[in-house]
């Protein structure tokens, strides 16, 4: 009766076990299988009883499995446990934890095996993902810090060590605020932590110090991990050393600034070039139109400059233009204007918010500033020194519509008249549409 009860209990336990169970013959054939095993590998009981465990074992695991089986049969061990893979009926691969033991008769002759087969496919998948995650953490160039709810460091990666110089042993258990450089005041750090605690994350640029006292700039992203009760359990900080990038950006910004300056400045004289003048004139004309203010343009030409170049040489000619430009620029600045080299020996000035009479006086002073330099010009027909001719146009944009080219054209006409009249003088543009 007791044996009967035991058999019934075993049979019930076998059939209703939550994990796969099987009795396996010494030749590898399935002798008896439970429902959980059939569910696990997708075969009906009748189908499994027609094959051996070897038929559904992954070939890469079979050799190891058979080695264990032989040791059981030879009495070298009574049981073994291994992780192995089976082929599901649908062709997919499942990973199991197999625990097998051998049953012998009274004379210790092997009869069959009892196998317990537990599905650990998801567990292995999670383990694989965790290993991948750990590998990513250790190979990334970014620094990674994990701290507990008390903000004490529990993990740092190799990237952290490379950037800061600190090993994990040196910072383990230390507070997250270990590294600030002192460049940030308390209000900055307080606001950073307030955002972190309120929003669950903070990111931005921050200065820190490495192990050797060197301050470096880092881009920091720090977030919180919470449990199911919304309680913070960990802090995760990921950061990059952007010092080199910041320096490179600053250098690039400086280079761009220099390039912009070079593209806006005349290389010979160091004053604005024609491109800059055209932009300034458009802006000043728009402003004058909006506020109904007068605007003047003065076009100047160094008299007989070709003769000067032929007589004194191009180096002297370049020096002459630089000196004349500096003198005119200084005088134009007194009237809050801008002077530019318009091409060759031509210069052009904008005089904002200046009525006709005052602009006439200003233009004449600008023109005469060159003659006052007393640069000798022995072959000039206009005087013994280098002189300039000038054409002036003053308009009230609110009264009539003008385009920038209109002003330059009118100033050029006036300059032509000054040259025709003998040079070394100023002419004012005439016309019914002028101020």
**Nearest residue to 274 via CA among 257, 249, 299, 245:** 299
User: The dihedral of CA 40, 43, 49, 53: what is its sign?
Assistant: negative
* Start-to-end Cα distance in the chain: 129
- The pLDDT value given to residue 25: 94
β pairing state of 30-33 and 143-148:
unpaired
In sequence order, the 6+-apart residues with CB closer than 8 A to the CB of 337 are: 349, 350, 351, 352, 362
In sequence order, the 6+-apart residues with CB closer than 8 A to the CB of 312 are: 320
Report the predicted TM-score, pTM, of the whole model to 2 decimal places: 0.47
Instruction: Give the pLDDT means over successive 10-residue stretches in the chain (435 positions).
Output: 60 82 94 94 94 95 95 93 95 94 92 94 83 79 89 90 91 79 74 84 85 86 88 89 74 72 85 94 93 94 95 95 97 96 96 94 97 94 94 85 92 96 94 45
User: The dihedral of CA 54, 56, 59, 62: what is its sign?
Assistant: negative
Q: Which residues are catalytic?
A: 345
Angle in degrees, 0-180, between the axes of helices 356-371 and 314-334, rounded to the nearest 10: 150
Long-range contacts of 151-156 (CB under 8 A, 24+ apart): 151/175, 151/176, 151/177, 151/235, 152/176, 153/178, 154/234
Query: Facing residues of 427 across strands?
Result: 391
- The pLDDT value given to residue 89: 94
DSSP one-letter code for 29: B
**Number of residues assigned to the chain:** 435
Asked if residue 121 lies in contact with residue 138, where contact means CB atoms within 8 angstroms, the answer is: no
If phi > 0 it is left, if psi is from -120 to 50 it is alpha, else beta; for residue 422 that is left
- The 3-state secondary structure of 181-247, one letter per residue: CCCCCHHHHHHHHHHHHHHCEEEEEEEEECCCCCEEEEEEEEEEEECCCCCEEEEEEEEEECHHHHH
Mapped onto helix, strand or coil, the DSSP state of residue 22 is: strand
């Amino acid at each position: 009766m007791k044996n009967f009860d035991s058999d019934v209990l075993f049979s019930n336990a076998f059939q209703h076990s939550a994990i796969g169970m099987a009795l396996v013959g010494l030749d590898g054939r399935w002798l008896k299988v439970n429902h959980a095993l059939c569910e696990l590998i997708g075969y009906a009981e009748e189908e499994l009883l027609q094959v051996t465990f070897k038929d559904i074992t992954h070939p890469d695991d079979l050799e190891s499995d058979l080695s264990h089986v032989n040791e059981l049969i030879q009495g070298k061990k009574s049981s073994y446990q291994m992780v192995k893979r089976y082929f599901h009926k649908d062709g997919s691969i499942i990973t199991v934890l197999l625990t097998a033991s051998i049953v012998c008769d009274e004379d210790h002759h092997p009869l069959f095996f009892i196998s317990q087969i537990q599905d650990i496919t998801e567990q292995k998948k999670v383990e694989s993902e965790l290993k991948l995650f750990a590998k990513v953490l250790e190979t990334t160039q970014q620094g990674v810090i994990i701290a507990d709810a008390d903000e004490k460091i529990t993990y740092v990666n190799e990237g952290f060590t490379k950037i800061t110089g600190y090993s994990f042993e040196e910072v383990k258990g230390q507070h997250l605020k270990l590294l600030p450089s002192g460049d940030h005041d308390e209000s900055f750090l307080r606001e950073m932590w307030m955002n972190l605690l309120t929003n669950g994350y903070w990111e931005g640029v921050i200065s820190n110090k490495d192990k050797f006292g060197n301050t470096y700039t880092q881009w920091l992203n720090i977030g919180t991990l919470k449990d199911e009760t919304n309680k913070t359990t960990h802090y995760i900080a990921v950061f990059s050393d952007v010092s080199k990038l910041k320096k490179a950006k600053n250098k690039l910004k400086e280079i761009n600034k220099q390039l912009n300056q070079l593209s806006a400045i005349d290389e010979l004289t160091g004053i604005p070039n024609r491109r800059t003048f055209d932009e300034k004139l458009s802006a000043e004309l728009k402003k004058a139109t909006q506020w109904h203010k007068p605007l003047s343009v003065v076009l100047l030409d160094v008299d007989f400059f070709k003769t000067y170049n032929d007589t004194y040489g191009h180096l002297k000619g370049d020096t002459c233009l630089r000196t004349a430009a500096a003198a005119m620029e200084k005088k134009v600045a007194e009237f809050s204007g801008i002077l530019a080299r318009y091409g060759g020996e031509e210069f052009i000035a904008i005089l904002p918010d200046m009525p006709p009479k005052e602009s006439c006086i200003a233009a004449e002073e600008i023109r005469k500033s060159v003659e006052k330099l007393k640069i000798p010009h022995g072959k000039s027909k206009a005087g013994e020194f280098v002189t300039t001719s000038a054409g002036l146009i003053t308009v009230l944009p609110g009264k009539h519509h003008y385009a920038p080219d209109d002003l330059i054209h009118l100033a050029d006409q006036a300059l032509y008249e000054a040259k025709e009249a003998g040079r070394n003088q100023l002419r004012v543009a005439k016309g019914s549409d002028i101020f």
